[in-house]
Amino acid sequence: MSDGLLEAYDLVKDFPLDRKRCVHAVGGVSLAVNAGETLAIVGESGCGKSTLGRLLIGALPPTSGEVRFRGHTITGLKEKDFSPYRRQLQLIFQDPYASLDPRMKVRDLIAEPLVTHKVCATKDEVTQRVLGLMESVGIPLDYLNRYPHQFSGGQRQRIGIARALALDPALIVCDEPVSALDVSVQNQILNLLNELQETRGLTYVFISHDLSVVRHISDRVCVMFLGKVMEVGPTEEVFHKARHPYTQFLLGSVLLPDPHQRGRQMRLLEGEPPSPVDPPSGCCFRTRCPYATELCARQEPALRKAGDAAVACHRLTE
Amino acid sequence: MLNSTLEVSHLCTSFFTDRGEVKAVDDVSLRVDKGQVVGIVGESGCGKSMVARSVMGLVKKPGKIVGGSIVLNGQELTSLDDKELCEVRGRDVSMVFQEPMTSLNPTMRVGRQVQEVVAIHEQVSKEQARQRTLEILSAVGIPEVEARYDAYPHELSGGLRQRVMIAMAMIMRPSLLIADEPTTALDATVEAQIIALLKRLAHTGTSVLIISHNLGVIAQLADYVYVMYAGRIVEKADVCELFDNPLHPYTHGLLGAVSSLRSQSKVLQTIPGVVPNLANLPAGCSFAPRCDRCMAACDSVRPELVTVGAGHELCCHLTKGVDVL
């Protein structure tokens, strides 16, 4: 865990509900993001993947734990001290409809981060940078004075990407960047992200629930359940040799776009998801796990090395 | 004729806006046979949901069915008034929507909401209605039905809510169930459960019209598939035929986009451009501006659906070059 660009140590995030109770969104996550890689965070809604993404770039303060960027602690910094790191750590949102100010023109939307961080000396320089960004994300340059509602979903996502790129960041957290898009457009955006990574040497944390997208884009995958990491490892290893029962179920429930494989037995998960307000004792997956034993209820499994991956399951030691 | 549950012919549904008439559904014909699962696949704005809403008589102003017929079990639906439609809805045909949270009443216990459907259509005692509700709730796989009967929608997970919606749709044993993106708002593991449930319902003889943008859902569930683009049917075929031998450049592009995600290639296959604005469609084929096999005729002449094989129809000028089987 030393050569990482970004490292998280035992990150915890609780959101209080009332005086007594709170939602345990992220429950002690440690991981490293290596320079130049794409690390995917997968899991179902409410598993804490978006919260983790925001914790990683300092957009949310953790309840406890620490994030280090290039070895420097970025947790608990004052706004003034954090500002240079914010330029390095950017975010792309899922919903291109909701994340752009409808009253701003494209030129102002893309210029906003440049102006806020006072990157350019003159107005001309800002315009030049904006045009350059528009070109690199594939928005026609004559759309400079258009408003967000004049664009399609895919183009709006391109604007969101241009905004994230404006400050030349080292790492971008992409939070479900293609989930709101149609299949044909989704692939255009994925190709663009790939191309930008190659030309600019970007590092991505790619949050998604879509396993086929994750398999295509990521180098490593981190599978989360109820705020905890269940399994983390190289993408091909996790997809081919899923060791954690939850990963196996997740992969088993993919609906293959092939009518000839209808006979394939889908692995259906039993029961209902546990509550993040009152998580089960021991392993948080045990209430849905067909292999759960008495040990699973008593003791929380630690992430242990298995092959090139790390897995949090008691069955592995047997 | 008696073999078909639903027969839609030349349906046209338009919206009358400030900018003129928008043809959301343009000359769509489709049929669903008894016990068959028929899929409509297409991207957002292609009119697939409007087909479903037209069948249900749920097209709201400024939208209107402007032409064609919808025959359900031999009964013409387009000429029915609101009261008669209310009798048909829920009893003969029912619909499951995408977002179970917004389609359930948040102030009513779920059991009562399901029971309400029976009370509208039949004269039954409260106890009988409750009994039937409990039966259908457990039939759609809801555990601890007695307790869940008194729950409010917000107390249930997304998957359970969608099961309640399906229970509500199925309690009168309609001959046709329309499912409009029933799993789009759900997680992968829950989606698989709901698809398995719909599969089971289809095996009991209910006809299902499944509408989805997800080719995985279509491949796993549908027997016969219609592909829609910009308000029209561009290709229709048996599910295996469609996936093995897609002939329309749009179908080809869609399947390519999905399958290239599963391949090793670094660059994914895409369809260039964006879905056209329905208010301003090209004169010829709507797909022509995005089509990599566009010819001179495509820009000016609108293609018609032509049979190209057993049960396989195609709406494309390329048919002239394709050997008819």
pTM equals 0.89
Write the single-letter amino acid at A12.
Answer: V
3-class DSSP assignment, residue B35: coil
Using CA atoms in the order B189, B192, B193, B198, what is the torsion angle rounded to 10 degrees? 160
Would you place residue A96 in the very low, low, confident or very high pLDDT band (cuts 50, 70, 90)?
confident
Structure tokens at B63: 């939208």
The pLDDT value recorded for residue B205 is 87
The pLDDT value recorded for residue B44 is 84
Please check the confidence at residue A263 and state whether its pLDDT lies above 60.
yes
Q: State pLDDT tens for residues B163-205.
A: 999 999 999 999 999 999 998 878 888 888 889 999 988 888 8
Question: For an interface test with A, which of B274, B277, B292 has the most A Cβ atoms less than 10 Å from its Cβ?
Answer: B274
| Helices of type H across A166-267 | 183-200, 211-217, 235-240, 245-252
Q: State pLDDT tens for residues B19-70.
A: 889 999 999 999 999 999 999 999 888 999 999 999 999 999 899 999 999 9
Is residue B40 within 8 A of residue B46, CB to CB? The reply is no
The pLDDT value recorded for residue B324 is 41
Q: Kindly report which listed range (A53-62, A181-190, A291-300) carries the lowest average pLDDT score.
A: A181-190
- Residues on chain A touching B43 (C-beta within 8 angstroms): 182-184
Structure tokens at B3: 């073999």
Q: State pLDDT tens for residues B267-306.
A: 899 888 888 888 888 889 999 999 988 988 899 999 999 9
Please check the confidence at residue A98 and state whether its pLDDT lies above 90.
no
Structure tokens at A276: 């993040």
Instruction: For this complex, say whether ipTM is above 0.90.
Output: no
The pLDDT value recorded for residue B121 is 92
The pLDDT value recorded for residue A265 is 67
The pLDDT value recorded for residue A1 is 43
Most distant CA pair in chain B, distance: 68
Q: State pLDDT tens for residues A168-215.
A: 999 999 999 998 888 888 999 999 999 999 999 999 999 998 899 999
The pLDDT value recorded for residue A2 is 46
> How close A57 comes to chain B (CA, Å)?
26
Would you place residue B148 in the very low, low, confident or very high pLDDT band (cuts 50, 70, 90)?
very high
Chain mean pLDDT for chain B: 91
Is residue B317 within 8 A of residue B291, CB to CB? The reply is no
Distance CA B188, CA A263 (A): 18
Is A184 in contact with B43 (Cβ distance < 8 A)? yes
* Interface residues from chain A to B (CB-CB < 8 Å): 44-45, 152-155, 182-188, 190-191, 194, 209, 211-213, 215-216, 249-250, 252-262, 266-269, 271-273
Sign of CA dihedral B176, B180, B184, B186: negative
Contact residues for A243 (Cβ-Cβ < 8 A; gap 6+): A231, A306, A307, A309, A311, A313, A316
The pLDDT value recorded for residue A3 is 64
- Residues on chain B touching A188 (C-beta within 8 angstroms): 270, 272
> How close A121 comes to chain B (CA, Å)?
36
CA angle A292, A298, A301 (to 5 degrees): 70
Distance CA A214, CA B107 (A): 39
Q: Is B43 within 8 Å of chain A by CB?
A: yes
In this structure, which CATH number among 3.40.50.300, 3.40.190.10, 3.40.50.970, 3.30.70.120 belongs to the domain B4-229? 3.40.50.300
What are the domain boundaries of chain B? 4-229, 247-325
The Cα-based distances of B247 to A5, B238, B311 in angstroms read 48, 13, 13
User: Taking the CB of residue B145, how many other CB atoms lie within 10 A of it?
Assistant: 17
| Average pLDDT of the segment spanning A10-23 | 92
Residues 85-124 of B with CB under 8 A from A: none
List, in sequence order, every residue forming a beta bridge with A234; answer none if it has no partner: A220
> How close B167 comes to chain A (CA, Å)?
18
Contact residues for A254 (Cβ-Cβ < 8 A; gap 6+): A211, A212, B188, B192, B216
Distance CA A70, CA A3 (A): 9
State the residue for tokens 């027969």. Answer: B7
CA angle A223, B186, B270 (to 5 degrees): 80
Q: Is B145 within 8 Å of chain A by CB?
A: no
The pLDDT value recorded for residue B318 is 86
User: How many A×B Cβ pairs under 8 Å?
Assistant: 115
User: Taking the CB of residue A62, how many other CB atoms lie within 10 A of it?
Assistant: 24
The pLDDT value recorded for residue B320 is 66
| Average pLDDT of the segment spanning A221-237 | 96
| Residue A201 region by backbone torsions, left for phi larger than 0, else alpha for psi between -120 and 50, else beta | left
